Amino acid sequence: MAKNAKSGRSGRPPEAPAPSALDDPEYRRGVVELLGVLAFGELSACERLVADAQMAPDLSSKVEVATMAAAEFDHFEVLRDRLVEMGEDPFAAMEPFEATFGDFHRKTRPADFVEGLVKAYVGDGLAADFYREIAAYLDPVTREIVVDTLSGTGHSEFVVDQVRAAIEADPRVGGRLALWGRRLMGEALRQAQTLVAERDALSAVLVGGIETPGLDLTAISRMFTRITEAHTERMARLGLAA
């Protein structure tokens, strides 16, 4: 007993670590894919906003957009660090999604500053809605990381005010931006559907089997209905018809 007291040991064998959802190799691959696509999306959003800032009409607007870009990069760092913590190469996890995001941004290149703002507000909002839906099927640690990194850049009021002011100054802008918002919606949904269809491990997370039941076809339909309804509300806030 003296020996145990001196060493601070109870004499009992150490407890085995609690089982984790990440112990399942298939689920782990799905999480790595999800964190990889999110990390690339945040980095891509940062790059896009830096480019959009060059179209800003004044210094104040340029600083606002640059600050949004910095927030996206902060989100990227959280996701990158989580992949490193898991023992994964974050850049290897991100690389498979470069072509998908490149295609999306080529098809949704804004023509001017206000289109860039609508894309940042509506496009990023659509992506956030989609990944939050997926987060419901994740283990608690991964879910918290995903939700936290989709918390927004904190500058939605700036975007809303700028877009509404542009429409007030020239009502014809409203029609053009409404069409632009519909185009963003279509391309974002196409990208989301492509990602799920092409990435087997990511699809497996949605199918279920880890802590929560998965999505059936009816649930998937309801998910996209909720995403569409949130998009309509987002567009209305900008003063645009969805």
Alpha-carbon distance of 48 to 227, in angstroms, equals 23
Is 114's pLDDT higher than 80?
yes
What is the structure's pLDDT at 21? Answer: 73
Could you report the per-residue pLDDT of 138-183, keeping only the tens digit for each?
A: 888 999 999 888 876 667 889 999 999 999 999 999 999 999 999 9
Answer yes or no: pTM beyond 0.85.
Answer: no
Residue pLDDT, tens place only, 59-77: 999 999 999 999 999 999 9
Condensed to tens digits (0 to 9), the pLDDT of residues 78-91 reads: 999 999 999 999 99
Rounded Cα distance, 2 and 216, in Å:
60
Q: Please answer whether residues 55 and 232 qualify as being in contact, where contact means their C-beta atoms are separated by less than 8 angstroms.
A: no
Q: Provide the token pair at 34.
A: 């999800």
The token duo for 206 is: 């949605």
**What's the chain's average pLDDT?**
85
210-235 pLDDT, tens digit each: 454 556 667 777 888 898 999 999 99
Contacts of 149 (CB under 8 A, 6+ apart): 38, 42, 75, 78, 79
Instruction: Enumerate residues 6+ apart whose C-beta is below 8 A from 38.
Output: 79, 131, 146, 149, 150
Q: What percent of the chain has pLDDT over 90?
A: 54
Q: CA 234, CA 82: separation in Å to the nearest integer?
A: 30
Question: Would you state the structure tokens that stand for residue 57, as one six-digit string?
Answer: 């009409």
